Structures are given as structure tokens and as C-alpha cells.
Amino acid sequence: PTGLHPRYRFDSFIKGASNELAASAAMAASDAPGTRFNPLFIYGGVGLGKTHLLHGIGHELHRKDPSLRIVYLSAEHFMNEFVTAVRNNQFDEFRARYRKDCDCLLIDDIQFIAGRDRTMDEFFHVFNALYEAGKQIVVTSDRVPADMPGMEARLTSRLNWGLVADVQPPDLETRIAIVQAKAERDGMELPAEVCLTIAELVRSNVRELEGALLRVTAFAQLRGVAIDKAFVESVLGKRRVDKTPITIEAVQKAVAGYYSVRISDLKGKRRHRGISRPRMVAMYLCRQLTDSSFPEIGMRFGGKDHSTVINACKRIAALQEDDEELRGAVESLRGQLAS
């Protein structure tokens, strides 16, 4: 189908905890379009695979039934088409294309039309026509429906009718799997240690990960050298090169020193604010600066439950908003630990 990227298929999409729900829902929607997960709304930060999944649905539907009329386009493109149709008096064609001659509508980056009244209005009617005809609708966005200023309430509500699924930044294991898969796809064999190093240094999103892999392999080729851990670090690693990764112990020691409390207090149970505040800061920094999971951090703080750690992290993140002193403490500790 037109507009679909040949590479964005389900079989090249790596599933992990961070995207499990969205990926499974995308597959389910292409197994039984227009039924349970309709509309399907996928949201999350940039470079996390939303567009890839959207195209994957299109490819999969087409594979199963080539007669299906699949329409993929970005919300921006939708708006441009609409404006052109209005200007050229081709509204009937426009209406036919999106409301009638369409079995599955895949709309990317819907947040774009928030605040554009006439486009929202038109999309509303397209949505209703397709939904009532039992056609599958899939929409992506960089945030949840309720969080789009300028989006009409009736549209927001419809976008919430089906399943709303998020994509999160990938964890370490998923990042490693993605690097391995991309390298393999390009016919390269990278040592496990190299994949690990790239995955450790690039944490933000998958697009960055792809860029990093390309940079490493291109540089190696240009310089005619083999790719090993040290080479990867020299290409990518300004920050972490030759530095040992930050450990939970290091965080606990720094926080204890900063607040003049004992490490055993951080691991203990005392609720007194002079202790519980440093403890929460320590948990927060462990989560931010190490690769440790919530349960692991809990364990290393005297066997606490993962929910305690999650709450501490949320608390510190929220408190920092208007507590300048706390913000200063966190920044100072972060700097101390990173140097």
C-alpha cells in the first residue's frame, strides 16, 4: 500500500517490556481489524517505534487481505489534503477517499491537528463514518488524548473509546536486542561486548540507537579498524569513557556523605524526615544514574518493596518542582557522581 515504509514491519520490530502492550495491540488489531482494539491509540516519546508499528499494521493487513483499502498518512498530510480539497472544490473526492473508500485508516502524529478547528472537525466526521462502518482506525501521538491542548473534547473522547497503549524508552536488554538485530540486518557481525557497550551508552530512544550504530560502523570502515569496546567508547562515549559505571553503593555513599547520615540509616526503616528524605533522594538517584530496576534498588536498600522505590522516585521528582534546596542537592550529587 502507498506510503508504507518497506522496512517498518512487525518482523523487524523488537518487542520488550517497554513496548509490549503497544506491539501486542498492534498485532491484535491487524488480526481482527475493526473489532476489539478500535480505535487503537499509540502514544509515546520521539523515536520509540510508533510510526514503525503503525506501518506494521498496514503491511500485515495487506498481507492477509490484499483487497483491503489501507490509508496511511500523517495528520499533517491529512490537513494539507483537506485544505487543498477545500481550495480546489474537490471535497467530494476528499470525502470519498477518507470516509468511503477506506477499510483501515492509519493516522500518524494526531497531535498536529490540535487547535486546527476545521481539520479537527473534518477528522471527527471521518472518524465517525469509519467507526460506524466497523473500519479499523489507528492513531499515534506524542501524548495521551486528554493531554493535547486545543484538541476538541468530542474527538479526545472518541480517541479514548478503544485501547490507549504507550511506548516507553527501551530497557537495556531491549536496546541490546535492537542493536543486534539492526547489525544483523545490515550483514554485520558485532561482538556481544560491542552491542552491550552501544546499548549502555545510548539510552534515550531507538532512533538514537540506530544513529549510534551507524556512526560506529561507518567510522570503523573509514578508518579501516576493527570494532571493539574501546573503539565504540571513543566514538560515542565522551561521558562514560574510562569511567566505571555508577553503582548503587556509590550513590548511597555520596548521599550519606552529603546529608551526614549513615549508610545503614539509608537501608533502614526509620521514617524520621532527616533520614527518609536522604533515603528517597538516594533511591531516586539510583534509578536515574544506574541501570538497576526498581526491585533491585529496593533489595539493596535493606530489602524494601519495589513500590516503595517507585513512590520515592515519584515523590522526589515532584518535590523538586518547587523545592529549590532539594533541586540543588540532587544536582550537586548528580554532578559529584558523574565526575
**19 near ligand ADP (CB under 6 A):** yes
Residue 206's binding partner, choosing from Mg ion, ligand ADP, none, with beta-carbon cut-off 5 to 8 A by kind? Answer: ligand ADP
Query: For residues 13 and 112, which CB has a smaller minimum distance to ligand ADP in the complex?
Result: 13
Query: For residues 103 and 108, which CB has a smaller minimum distance to ligand ADP in the complex?
Result: 108
**111 near ligand ADP (CB under 6 A):** no
| C-beta neighbour count of 185 within 10 angstroms | 10
**30 near ligand ADP (CB under 6 A):** no
d(CA 74, CA 112): 9
107 beta partners: 73, 139
Site residues for ligand ADP, window 178-197 (CB under 6 A)? 178
d(CA 113, CA 41): 15
Selection from 91, 99, 94 nearest residue 124 by Cα: 99
d(CA 126, CA 160): 16
**141 near Mg ion (CB under 5 A):** no
Phi-psi domain of 233 (left: phi exceeds 0; alpha: psi -120 through 50; beta: other): alpha
Query: For residues 50 and 158, which CB has a smaller minimum distance to Mg ion in the complex?
Result: 50
φ and ψ at 151, to 5 degrees?
A: -85, 135
Residue 94's binding partner, choosing from ligand ADP, Mg ion, none, with beta-carbon cut-off 5 to 8 A by kind? Answer: none
Q: How far is the CB of 11 from ligand ADP (least distance, A)?
A: 10
The alpha carbon dihedral of 275, 277, 283, 285 has a sign of: negative
Q: How far is the CB of 15 from ligand ADP (least distance, A)?
A: 7
**47 near ligand ADP (CB under 6 A):** yes
Which residue lies nearest ligand ADP, judged by its C-beta? 49
User: Judged by CB under 6 A, which of 20, 152, 210, 228 binds ligand ADP?
Assistant: 210
Site residues for Mg ion, window 18-57 (CB under 5 A)? 50-51
Three-state secondary structure call for residue 206:
helix
Q: Is-contact 160 37, C-beta < 8 A? A: no
Tallying the residues shown for the chain, one arrives at 339
d(CA 63, CA 31): 11
Q: How far is the CB of 183 from ligand ADP (least distance, A)?
A: 12
**48 near ligand ADP (CB under 6 A):** yes
User: Judged by CB under 6 A, which of 30, 50, 60, 294 binds ligand ADP?
Assistant: 50
Query: For residues 19 and 292, which CB has a smaller minimum distance to ligand ADP in the complex?
Result: 19
φ and ψ at 317, to 5 degrees?
A: -60, -45
Q: Is-contact 50 43, C-beta < 8 A? A: yes
The span from the first CA to the last CA of the chain, in angstroms, equals: 51
Is 49 part of any known ligand binding site? yes
Is 150 part of any known ligand binding site? no
User: Judged by CB under 6 A, which of 207, 243, 262, 270 binds ligand ADP?
Assistant: 207
Residues near Mg ion, by CB under 5 A: 50-51
**Positions at the binding site for ATP:** 47, 49-51
Residues near ligand ADP, by CB under 6 A: 8, 12-14, 19, 46-52, 178, 206-207, 210
